[in-house]
Each structure stands twice: as structure tokens, then as C-alpha cells.
Structure 1
Amino acid sequence: MVFYDIIGDIHGHADELKNLLKSLGYQRHGDGFRCFDRKVVFVGDFVDRGPAIGEVVEIARAMVDAGDALAVMGNHEYNAIAFHTAVPGTHNQWFRPRPDKNIRQHVETLSQLSDLELSDAIEWFKTLPVAIEIGGIRVAHASWQTRDIDCINDALAEVGRFTPDFLAISEESGSDLNNAIENVLKGPELRLPAGHSIVDKAGHRRGSVRIKWYEDGTGRTYRQHHLGSDDVPDVAIADGDLAGVDAYPRDAVPVFVGHYWLMGTPTPLAANVACTDYSVAKGGKLVAYRWDGESVLSPEKFYWADGSLK
């Protein structure tokens, strides 16, 4: 049986990645790293924000190509594909529009990678699955929603891997594929009541909040059901607002995600759910969970960049 080290959002922080891999017992192997009896699973979000984006992509890709790692797509990889894919038949229009907000989010990648390096990275991103189920675990960037994962995979098979035809549907607000991409890569959200909003860690004002998709939110407030570190209003969730999001079954195999900019000491979100994103790009930790076949996850199995077992 193969055991896995699930590593959270890296966002261009190559030094932390190398330190973490070494502390977990991985050694240099070509452009990547290898451990004779374990493999890495990357939860996505390799690019944007950090100082060494090209090196992070190089290491992750080398490990995947060598069979030393698996990787799923993050929302930043999906956004990069859409940002750099032109809408057919238009002049200077892209599937991800280019207002200042979107450019700022992507500017470190644009400034650090040459046109050739960026094009090559985008082509690799297109090969990444949106979810992995292997060896007794599941991994997706933000949420495990079986119907949504099936919807995405069916569309990829029918119209091609993140082709313009795929993006035309996935970027159509309200389409089944758009909803699936949002749920799996960005996490299910609830719209806040009129008059309420939050300012997220990136400084953006938002009218919706990410939720604890692995739990039943019935009878909770938005603050109680929110997943993340934002300051969310303590207002009751309206009846019917939770329709369409299935709580992750408590008897299902462990699932690992990233995405949520958590802070503090890493710990499982539920007995079979763990997040490995602890905000390395905002002064936090680059975190891994060392999975050894257990069905009940433990706070003692988290590592971070200095290699300490916590």
C-alpha cells in the first residue's frame, strides 16, 4: 500500500516547499524530490503571490512526471488557463476578464515567468485532474462534491481538456458546469443577507461566504457554518439556502483539500476531512498531512515547513 504526504497551497514559495520535503524524508531527484516509500499529493495553487513561482512549478511537475507525486488543479491554475485563453472570434477578449483585480492576483506569475515558460505551464495545468481518488483517500482543491466532479469530468471528456469550448460553458454564470467548477475548485458558498458583506484576506469585499461543506448547516448562523478565518456576520442562515450542497458522509474515506487560508495550529476539520492550506503566502505555514492509511485523521500527523511534528 502506498502512503501519501498531502501538501497544501504553495503559491510560489519554493524555499518552504524544499524545506518541507526534506523534513519529510524526500531527497533531490532530478528537478524534483523522491522518497522511496511515499508519494506526495499536491492540492493545487502552485502559482501567484510568491517569490519563486517558476521553481515551484518545476519541482511539482518533475515529481508528477517521475511518478513521485500526484497533483490536482487549484482555482489559480484554472484562472490562469482562462486568463490566457482568448475567446474565439473576438479581439483582445479572454475567458477570464482582465480588470485590475484579476491582473493584480496574477501579476507575480506574469512578471516571473517568460512567455514560453508561462505557455508551457498552462499546458501542464490543463493535464491536471480536478479531483483524485486513490489508495484510500480523496483529494480536491476546495471541496469534494461527487456530482460536481462527475459533471466536470464528463464535460472534459466531451469537449476537451479546458479547451475554448469547455471554458465557454464553465464561464457561463449559472450553468451546471460553472457551478461545479465553483464548488470543487473554489468551495461552496452562501450569499449573505442584504446589507451584509465581508472583506476577505485579499482585501476584497464579498457578498458571500465559504461554508463547512462537510457538515450539515441546518439551524446555524453564517458565522457558525463559515469555513475560513474571515470575520463573518452572526446571522441565521435562511431556510433553503443550503440546497444543492451535500454534507460529506462521516463514513466516507478521508478527503484532503487546500484553499481556505486557515491560520493557527493545523488540525482536522472533521474525523475524515483535513485542510492543508495554512496561508504560507500570507505569513503562515506550508503544511503537509502525513497519511499512513488511517481512516480517522489526527492532529499529530500535520507537518509544516520546519519539519516539526505537531
Structure 2
Amino acid sequence: MSKRFDIIGDIHGHANVLVSLLEKLGYRRHGKGYRHSDRKVIFVGDFVDRGPAIGEVVEIARAMVEARDALAVMGNHEYNAIAFHTPRPGKQGEWFRPHSDKNLKQHQATLDQLSPGELADAISWFKTLPVAIEIVGIRVAHASWQTRDIDSINDALADAGRFTPEFLAMSEDAGSDLNNAIENVLKGPELQMPDGHSIVDKAGHRRGSVRIKWYEDGTGLTYRQHHLGSDDVPDVEIATDDLATVDIYPRDAVPVFVGHYWLTGTPTPLAANVACTDYSVAKGGKLVAYRWHGESVLSADKFHWVETE
């Protein structure tokens, strides 16, 4: 298989920007999707919520995957949509993702733009997506590569069925091993901050935990130094014991690509073998792609992007 992939970050319903980026990269319309003569896309997930053309984004991405012009992993917003629309068996009016004001607000653009039939069809497709891809020298996951957690998720999917109520009953059981695995792979490993400290994240939610640089050793660092993202995080030293649950991505491992983190500024690798392609398209930022040609050391000049319109 070719070692020529374009890894595209979180799209969140911004179809016009996606089309502009694909055309900039040399892809041309093919049916409902886009095709390149000798390259393929890998989408890092988060197709839905927030943007103005969610149905079109899902249509393009799905068409490309089904035509084998692209691969895709699941984002936390696809997982959330599955859970939001799956009722808890035997519990009238209860869903695996509660229909709270917070969750409704996050998902509202999708609810407004897709008909019930379109939404059901999209969710059926989301359930087919892998949570991680390892192929010809690279790895892709939505938020982090944690080998044990990815294996746990895949084992549970094989045993319980792909995002069935049986699977969701385990994955939505707060604090369970499977719940922790889903959180780590689709939302990123986090550290709880000391009492009295919190942040307000880019979605406006107050949080007592911070996402961390899972590809670095955080020993001796502060939460601000070890934070992955663009939130305003306290400059307080991390308790060393809190780092034990995270598998640090090895510096000699194959390159891994993620999205999810709402980065800002000029795209650049996070480490020699780690790159994030989420640069906040849903917050007036960029839709970013990394053009990978088989290299083991990633380079800033391989990033390409289109600014939000």
C-alpha cells in the first residue's frame, strides 16, 4: 500500500472549508466525494456538531471512505452522537448520553440540520468507524494513542458488538476500565488539578482536569507546562503519582496523528513523531492537513491549511 496520506483534522460541519482544502491538495470531485490520483485521506473524526453544513461533511467523508479514497477514525463527537441517540434498555426516557442542557447545546446544530432519517443513517455509519488505525508506518486516533486502551476497546467491541447497548452500558459506566479507555483515546488523557483550581475550556465549560501531553514525561512539570491545548491552565506543579496511569508515547515509535485539541497559531509537530491536525476550524481557525510521504520524523512544512471562511 502507498505511503502517501493526507491526514485531515476535525471538520465540525464546515463543508466549504473541507472542499477548499481537498481541492488545494489536488483532490477532484468523484461522485459524492473527492479523489486523488495517487493519495488518500485519513480523517481524524469529529465530522458533526457546531458547523453550518454537517450533512454535506458526512456525505463527502462517507463517500470517500466507501470508495476507498479515504480512511476515517471515530471522534468523540461521533461517539457522543451514538450514545445520545441510543436509549437505555428498560428505562423509559433515558439515553446513554443524557439529554441535558449541556449535551443538547453541543449537539444542537446536528439535530437542527439532519432529518431523523439522515441522522439515523449517519449514526449507523459512525458505528462502523474504528477508534484507531495503524497502517504502513503511521498511527491515527482522535485524541491519543494508548495501546492498552485501544486493545481494550477493540476487545469489547468484538465481544459486545459495535457500539451496541451492551457495549455502551460498559463504556458509559463512569470509572470503569472501558470508560477510561474511551476517555483516553477519544478525548485524551487528563489529570485532575488540586482542589481550588479549575479552567474554562474553549467550549465554555468549567473543568477541574486538564488534557496532557501524553507523548512527554510530565515529571517535575506544572499543569500549564504539561497541558495539551490552548486553555489557560494554572502554573501549579503536578503530583508525580497522578502520572502513573498514562502510557507515554515512545519517541522511537512510528508517527501518530491526532485531532481534538483546539490548537491555534501556525501548525507544527508536537514532537518528532507526533502531530495534531485540529486547529480550531469551528472557532474561526484553520482546517489543517498533514501531507505524509512515509517519513519517520515529521516536519512543519508538510502542514497545509485553509482558513475558516
Q: TM-score band, normalised by the shorter chain?
A: over 0.9
Q: How does 1:142-221 map to 2 (within 5 A)?
A: 142-221=143-222
Distance 1:289 1:128 in 2: 21
Quote the offset at 1:244 in angstroms. 1.3
What's 2:42 paired with?
41
What's 1:26 paired with?
27
What's 1:88 paired with?
89
Quote the offset at 1:105 in angstroms. 0.1
Secondary structure of the equivalent of 1:241? helix
Q: Deviations over 1:221-240 (max 9, x none)?
A: 00000000000000000120
Superposition RMSD in Å: 0.9
What's 1:77 paired with?
78
In structure 1, list runs of 5 or more residues that go unmatched. none
Quote the offset at 1:290 in angstroms. 0.3
What's 1:261 paired with?
262
Quote the offset at 1:2 in angstroms. 3.3
In structure 2, list runs of 5 or more residues that go unmatched. none
Deviates more, 1:15-24 or 1:239-248: 239-248
Distance 2:238 2:3 in 1: 42
Quote the offset at 1:281 in angstroms. 0.1
What's 1:67 paired with?
68
TM-score (norm 2): 0.99
Quote the offset at 1:305 in angstroms. 1.6
Distance 1:41 1:60 in 2: 10
Quote the offset at 1:36 in angstroms. 1.1
Distance 1:172 1:243 in 2: 22
Asked if 2 retains the 8 angstrom alpha-carbon contact of 1:2 and 1:37, the reply is no
Q: Deviations over 1:174-219 (max 9, x none)?
A: 1110000000000000001000000001111000000000000011
Secondary structure of the equivalent of 2:5? strand
Asked if 1 retains the 8 angstrom alpha-carbon contact of 2:3 and 2:292, the reply is no
Q: Structure 1: which amino acid aligns with 2:164?
A: T
Q: Does 1:107 align with 2:108?
A: yes
Secondary structure of the equivalent of 2:252? coil
Distance 2:251 2:240 in 1: 23
Distance 2:85 2:100 in 1: 14
Secondary structure of the equivalent of 2:170? helix
Q: Structure 2: which amino acid aligns with 1:261?
A: W
Distance 1:173 1:107 in 2: 24
Distance 1:158 1:244 in 2: 25
Q: Structure 1: which amino acid aligns with 2:298?
A: L
Q: Deviations over 1:221-277 (max 9, x none)?
A: 000000000000000001200011011000000000000000000000000000000
Distance 1:106 1:145 in 2: 27
Q: Deviations over 1:104-133 (max 9, x none)?
A: 000000000000000000000000000000
Secondary structure of the equivalent of 2:127? helix
Residue identity (%): 81
Distance 2:23 2:123 in 1: 27
Q: How does 1:257-296 map to 2 (within 5 A)?
A: 257-296=258-297
TM-score (norm 1): 0.98
Distance 1:191 1:217 in 2: 14
Q: Deviations over 1:72-118 (max 9, x none)?
A: 00000000000000000010100000110000000000000000000
Distance 2:191 2:162 in 1: 29
Asked if 1 retains the 8 angstrom alpha-carbon contact of 2:7 and 2:290, the reply is yes
